[in-house]
Amino acid sequence: MDDISTFLQIIFWGLYAGCIYILLATGLNLIFGVMKVVNFAHGEFLMIGAYITATIFLLTGINPYVIMLVSMLALIVMGAAVERLCFRPILGTGKLNEIFLSIGLIYIIQNGAAIIWTDEWQSIRSPYNGITVPIGTLDVPLDYILIMIITAAILCGLYLFIRKTTIGMQMQAASQNRKGAMLVGIDVERIDVVSFGLGCALAAAAGTLWVVSGQVFNPYIGSIPAVKAFAIIILGGLGSIPGAVIGGLLMGLAENGAAYLLGGIWKDAISFVILIVVLIVRPTGLFGEKED
C-alpha cells in the first residue's frame, strides 16, 4: 500500500515538473522554429515571470492564477524588447554567437533580478494551499491539478492560435521556409517578434506555475530548467510541439524517479545523462533532421 502511494507521489511530482518543462520547451520550440535562434537565457524569463506574479500577489492579494495573465503580458513586452535589441542584430551570424549572447543575457537578467528582489530564497502560499483532492489512496493538492489543467489549456490555446489565426499561419510559413514566407509578403521580422514574445509568455506561465505550487524561488532558478528544456527539444524533435509535450512529461517522470531511486542530488544530472546517451546513439537527436 505504501509503495503504491509513493509511486503515485513520484508520478504526480513528475507530471508537475513535466508541465513546467513542457511550457518552457514549447516556447523554445516556437522561437527556434521561426528564428532558428538558440536562446540559452530562456529560463531567465521563467524566473522573471515567477517574480512578477509573486510580487503582484504579495502586494494586492489577487488570485495568482489570474495574475499569470499580467505576468505573461509583461513578458511578451520584455521578450519583444530582447529580440529587437539583442538577437535581431546578430541574426544569421552563427549559432555560437547566439549562445554567447545568451550568456550575457543570463548575467544581466539574473543579477538585475537579484538587485531588485535580492537573492534570498522566497516562496508564496497559493490561496488553495492545503486543499487536497483524493485520487485513489493519495491526497493530491488542488494546486497540482490546477497546474496540469492550465498547462493543457495553454497548449490547446496555442494550438488553435497557430492553426487558425493569420499570424499563427504566418508563423508556420516562416518556420517552414523563411525566404518563401518573405516572398509571399509576410513581414518575417514582425513574426520573429511575435514568436519570441509568445515563447517568453509561455515561460512566464511556467514561472507562475512554479510559484503557485509553493516551490521556493530565487533569481538563479531558471538556468537549469531551460537547459533541460533544450535537452527535451533535442530528444523530442526540433519544432515539434507533440514531441515537446511527450519529452517534457517523460523528463519530469524520469528525473523524479531517479531522484527517488538514486537520491535527490541526481535530479539534475540524470536529464543530461539521458541526453548524452541518446546523442551517442543518435547524434541528430531522436527525431532530428539532417539539415541545420
Partner 1 sequence: MLTDRDRLVKYGSIITVVVAAVLPFLTDNMFIINLLVLMLIAVIFASAWNLLAYSGQGSLGHAAFLGIGAYASTLIAAKAGIPPLVTVFLGGAVAAFIGILIGLTCVRLKEWFLAMVTFGFAIIVQTLTVSVLAPVSGGWDGIASPRIISASVAGYQTIEYYIVLAITLLSLFAIWYIMKSKVGLAFLAIRENELEARAAGIDPVRYRLLAFAMSAYLAGVAGALQIHHIGYLTPELYGAENSFWPITYVILGGLGTLIGPVIGTVVLTIIWEGLKETGMTFGRYVIIGVILILTIIFLPRGLVSLPEEIKAWREKRGRRAGTETQIPAK
| Contact positions vs partner 1 (CB under 8 A) | 38, 40, 86, 89-90, 93-101, 103-108, 110-112, 114-115, 119, 223-224, 227, 230-231, 234, 262-263, 265-266, 268-269, 271-273, 275-276, 279-280, 283-285, 292
Q: Which helix (H) or strand (E) holds 292?
A: none
Least CB distance to partner 1 at residue 228 (A): 9
Q: Closest CB to partner 1 among 212 and 238?
A: 238
Least CB distance to partner 1 at residue 31 (A): 13
User: Residue 54: what are its φ and ψ, rounded to 5°?
Assistant: -65, -40
Least CB distance to partner 1 at residue 221 (A): 13
Residues with Cβ < 8 Å from 160, sequence gap 6 or more?
A: none
Least CB distance to partner 1 at residue 203 (A): 18
Q: Closest CB to partner 1 among 169 and 286?
A: 286
Residues with Cβ < 8 Å from 145, sequence gap 6 or more?
A: 133
Which DSSP letter does residue 288 get? -
Residue in 221, 214, 207, 226 with CA at minimum distance from that of residue 67 = 207
Q: Closest CB to partner 1 among 180 and 264?
A: 264
Q: Closest CB to partner 1 among 88 and 132?
A: 88
* Amino acid residing at 234: I
Least CB distance to partner 1 at residue 218 (A): 12
Q: Closest CB to partner 1 among 141 and 243?
A: 243
In three-state secondary structure terms, 43 is: helix
Which DSSP letter does residue 290 get? S
8 A C-beta contact, residue 113 and residue 219: yes
Instruction: Give the three cell numbers for residue 13.
Output: 511530482
